[in-house]
Structure 1
Amino acid sequence: MKRIGWAMLLVACCIGVFLALPSNYYLRRALTHFLPKIDQYPIFENRIVKAGDPSPWQQAKAYNTCSIPDKYLPVFNNLGTVAYVVIQDSTLLFEQYWEDYSPESHSNSFSMAKSIVSLAVGCAIDDGMIRDVDQPVSDFFPEFGGYNGKPLTIRHLLTMSAGVDFQEAYSSPLSPTTQLYYGDDLRKIAFGMKEIAEPGINFIYQSGVTQLLAFLVEKATGENISSYVSRKLWTPLQAEENALWSLDKKEGMEKGYCCFNSNARDFARFGQLILNNGYWNGKQLISESYLKEATTPDTTLLFTEYNETNHCYGFQFWHLNYKGMDIPYMRGILGQYVFIIPDKNAVVVRLGHKRSKTRTSQHYPDDIDTWLAAALDIMEQSKQHNNCK
C-alpha cells in the first residue's frame, strides 16, 4: 500500500510539473474552466470594438405584440436560450431575453466571429489593401507558399479549403482548437499549420484558417482587427454598445475565429447589412459583389465530411434552404445564430447555451428549424395583433 501511495504521489508530482510548464498555460486554463461558455469573456483580456455612432433600432408598430408560440418553447428552454430577436423591414419586431440577460448583455459569438472576419476582408479589398480574394497568401506571409506548385490564396482561406493540417476538435484538452481558445500564443498555432494538400479542393472546417485570416487582415490594414472593424463596420452600423473582442494575452491578438462579444440587437446589424446588400443609411459599407459571393456556397468544393458537393458554406458564412427560402447565416458552436431571410426582409438572432446535436439532411443542427419556424410564426401573427398566442 505504501508503494502504491508513493507511486500515486510521484505521478501527481509529474503531472504538476507538466502543467507548470509555460507551454502548457492553455492546458491549465482548460482544466480550470473546462468547456467554453457564453459568458467567459471576463477570464480573457479583451479589446474594445468601439461603437462610435450609436443609434437604436426603430420599433415596428407591432413590436412585441406577439409571443413565441407555446409549441416552440420546449426547445427554447431546453437549449438554454438567452436572447431571441426578430428584425423585419429594418425595424425591431420582437425580442425576448431569459435568465439575467438583457438587450445590453454581452454574449460570446463563438464562430459567428468568422463571418465578421470575412466582412473585414471584404472591406480591406474595397479599401485596396487586399487586391482581391485570389491574391496569394504568400504576398503577406511568405511561409505559406502553397502546395505542389499551387498557391494558397485568400479565397482558399475564406472557403475553408486551405489544405492545412489543423485538426478541429472541441472535446479534447490537447487539441489545437483548445489551444486557440485557452492559450496565449495565437501566432504560434496559426503559423504552425502545415500545407499538406492541394488547396481549393476540399471544404474542411478549420478554426486555425480563420485565425490566419485575422492575422492577414491585420497585416494588410496596418491596424488591429478590432480597430478596423470598429471603423469600417461597427461604428457605421450604429451599434448601440461597444463590443469586446477577446485576446490571447494583454495587448495581444484577437481570437478571430471566435470570441466577439456583443448582444443580440447589435449582432442583428451584420444580418441587416447583408440584407441591404452592403448599404447602411445610404452608404455602401462593403461591396455588393463581395457579399453575394461570401453568402453563396462554393459548389466547386467537396464537403469532405459527407463526401458530397459543398452546398452549405461560402466565405465564412453558412447557407441553408428552409421551406424554399435560401438563407445565409452566421453560426456559433453553442447555438449562436444570425439568419438572413431575404424572402421576408428579415433578420433573426438566437443566442444561448446549447444547440442540438442532431443534424438535418442538409447537415445543419436541427434546432435551427425551431428558431426559423418561430420567427416566421411571429412575423405572420404580427400582421393580425388579435391572433397572437
Structure 2
Amino acid sequence: MSETKLFSRGRLLWWAALCLLLCGRPVAAQEDWPPASAVRFGTLGAEQIRRIEADGATAFLVLQEGGLVAEFYFGRGAQFRAEPAQGIASSVTALLLGSAIGEGRIGGLEDRAARYLPALAADARDRITLRHLAENGSGLAWLEARDLPRVLNGGVNMKRYMEGFRLDVEPGSRWRAASGDIFLLGMVIESALGKSLAAYASSRLWQPLGLTAAGRTPAWTMDVEGRNTLAACCLHMRPRDFARLGQLVLQQGRWNGKQLVPQRFIEEASSAQVRFDGVSGATLFDGYGLGLWHFTYAGLPGTAMLGEQGQAVFVVPALSLVIVRLGVRGDAAALAFALQAGVSVAATPQK
C-alpha cells in the first residue's frame, strides 16, 4: 500500500497525534450513556478546546437532555482516573441529607444538630440546625486555612475534633466557606443512620446511578480511626460519575423512575438561601444554597457543585444542560470560560 494513500497507517497515526496535540481527545459515547443527536448541537472550536486545556483542565464533558454533546480528556488515562472531589463532596453530602430526610431517617432541615450529636447540647451550640450546617452558617470558630489541613493530614479523630469547636457568632448570622460544617453534617447523617456516609452513598446514590461496576465505585476516605467519613472532601470519582451527579440534580433528584432525593429538597438546595450582596459583579456565583452554589449566566439561573483545582459541575435547567470541568488547576476565569464553552455547544430545547 502506498505511503501517500489517505488512509495509510502512517497518515492515520499522524492525524491522531495532531488531534491529541491540538484539541485534546474526544471520546465516543459508551453504551451506558447515549450520545445526543449530532444534528441538533454545535461543536467546540479548536480555540475553545485549546483554551480549556491551557486553563488546566483534565476533563470536559457536556450533556444536554441526558445525552452526551461533547467529551474531551487532556492527559493520558484521564477518562479512567478517579479524581479527588474536594468540595464537590460537600454537595454529595447535602444530597445524602436530602435522601435521609426523604426516607424519614432525619426529621428535617430545622432539626437541631444536637439531636444527633448530644455533645452539642450542653451549650449555645444547641441552637445549630441542620439547615445552618448545610448552608455553611453554623457560626462555629472553624478556620478553613487552619483546620482543614489538620483534618486532611490524617492526624485527628474527626468526632473529638469537631465536637471541640465553640461558637464564634450566632448560628445563621454569618456565611463563610466552612468544610467543618459539612464534616459535622456528615457526622449527623452517620449518627442518624447508624452507618458510614460512604455506605449510605453506595446504597442511595452509587448503585442506582450505576456507579458500582468493578473497579469503578467511588471511594470516600475515612478519618484516622476509620469511624467517620470525611464528608467535605476526599471522595474519588471518575469524570462520568460527576456528570451523573449533575444529571441527578437536573432531574430534580429522580433517576430511572425512582426518587433518590426529594424534589422539594433539590429545589431548595439549588436556590440561593444566602445571597452574596455586592459581590455578584466580581464573581460568577451570586449565592449559596444547601451544599450547592447559585449563579446566573446570560440571564439563565443555574446551580453548581464546586471543588478544588477548578472542579465544577454546572447545571442549567432552562437548557437541560450539565457541564463538567475537572482539572489540576483553574481560577474563576477558567470556570467562567468552561461554562461559556459548554453553553455554546448546547441548543435551546425544542418545545
Q: Aligning the two structures, in what range does the TM-score lie when normalised by the shorter sequence? A: 0.7 to 0.9
The residue that corresponds to 2:193 in the other structure is 221
Q: Deviations over 1:239-283 (max 9, x none)?
A: 253111122336343211111111111111111111111111111
Distance 1:77 1:102, change over 3 A: closer
**Does 2:231 correspond to 1:256?**
yes
Q: Please tell me whether the aligned partners of residues 147 and 197 of structure 1 are also in contact (alpha carbons under 8 angstroms).
A: no
Q: Does 1:337 align with 2:312?
A: yes
Quote the Cα distance in structure 2 between the aligned partners of 1:111 and 1:204: 14
State the match for 2:134 in structure 1. 158
CA positional deviation for 1:149:
8.6
Q: Secondary structure at the match of 1:348?
A: strand
1:378 to 340, 345, 350: 345
Which of 162, 184, 205 aligns to 2:155? It is 184
Structure 1 position 369 matched with structure 2 position 305: no
Alignment-mate amino acid for residue 61 of structure 2: V
User: Within 5 Å, which residues of 2 pair with 1:65-84?
Assistant: 67-84=43-60
Structure 2 match to 1:348 = 323
Decide whether the 8 Å contact of 1:157 with 1:213 is kept in 2: yes
User: Which blocks of at least 5 consecutive residues in structure 2 are unaligned?
Assistant: 1-29
Higher relative contact order (CA 8 A, sep 6+): 1
Contact (CA 8 Å) 2:196, 2:227: kept in 1 or not? no
Query: Structure 2: how far apart are the matches of 1:257 and 1:366?
Result: 24
Root-mean-square deviation (CA, aligned residues, Å) is 2.8
1:271-282 to structure 2, matched below 5 A, reads: 271-282=246-257
Q: 1:69 to 1:188 in 2, by over 3 A?
A: farther
1:145 corresponds, among 113, 118, 121, to 121
Q: Which residue does the alignment assign to 2:67?
A: 91
CA distance in 1, matches of 2:65, 2:279: 37
Name which of 234, 242, 246 aligns with 2:206: 234
Q: Distance in 2 between matches of 1:121 and 1:380?
A: 34
Q: Check whether the contact 1:202–1:303 (CA below 8 A) recurs between aligned residues.
A: no
The question of whether the paired residues in 1 share the 8 Å contact of 2:319 and 2:347 is answered with: no
What is aligned with 2:95?
119
Query: TM-score normalized by structure 1?
Result: 0.74
CA distance in 2 between partners of 1:122 and 1:281 (Å):
18
The CA distance in 1 between the partners of 2:125 and 2:86, in whole Å, is: 34
Q: Distance in 1 between matches of 2:123 and 2:287?
A: 25
CA distance 1:206–1:303, shift in 2 (3 Å):
farther
Q: 1:157 to 1:374 in 2, by over 3 A?
A: same
Q: 1:137 to 1:354 in 2, by over 3 A?
A: same
Task: Please give the alpha-carbon distance, in whole angstroms, between the structure 1 residues aligned to 2:335 and 2:74.
Answer: 18
User: In 2, are the aligned partners of 1:298 and 1:311 still within 8 Å (CA)?
Assistant: no
How far apart in 2 are the matches of 1:191 and 1:147? 12
Q: What corresponds to 1:103 in structure 2?
A: 79
Does residue 58 of the first structure (1) align with residue 57 of the second (2)? Answer: no
Report what 2:301 is aligned to.
Answer: 326
Secondary structure of 1:144's match? helix
- Cα deviation for residue 302 of structure 1 reads 7.1
Aligned-partner SS, 2:120 = coil
- Counterpart CA distance in 2 for 1:369 and 1:274 is 20
Long gaps (5+) in structure 1: 1-53, 170-174, 357-364, 384-389
Cα deviations by residue, 1:228-247 (Å, 9 ceiling, x for unpaired): 01111111112253111122
Distance 2:326 2:307 in 1: 9
What percentage of aligned pairs have identical amino acids?
Answer: 28
TM-score, length of structure 2 as denominator length: 0.82
Please say which of residues 275-284 and 108-117 is displaced more in the overlay: 275-284
1:297 deviation in Å? 1.1
Q: Residues of 2 paired with 1:257 and 1:303: CA distance?
A: 25
Q: Check the 8 A contact 2:80/2:238 in 1, yes or no.
A: yes
Q: Which amino acid aligns with 1:105?
A: R
Indicate if the aligned counterparts of 1:247 and 1:254 stay in contact, CA closer than 8 A.
Answer: yes
Structure 2 distance, partners of 1:304, 1:163, is 22
> Which residue does 1:133 correspond to in 2?
109
Tell me the SS of whatever aligns to 2:144: coil
* Separation of aligned partners in 2, 1:342 and 1:159: 22
Contact 1:69 1:374 (8 Å CA) reproduced: no
1:207 to 171, 179, 196: 179
Distance 1:157 1:270 in 2: 21
Hey, what's the Cα distance between the residues in 2 that align with 1:102 and 1:119?
26
The number of equivalent residue pairs is 313
Q: Determine if contact 1:271/1:339 at 8 Å carries over to the other structure.
A: yes
Q: 1:162 deviation in Å?
A: 0.3
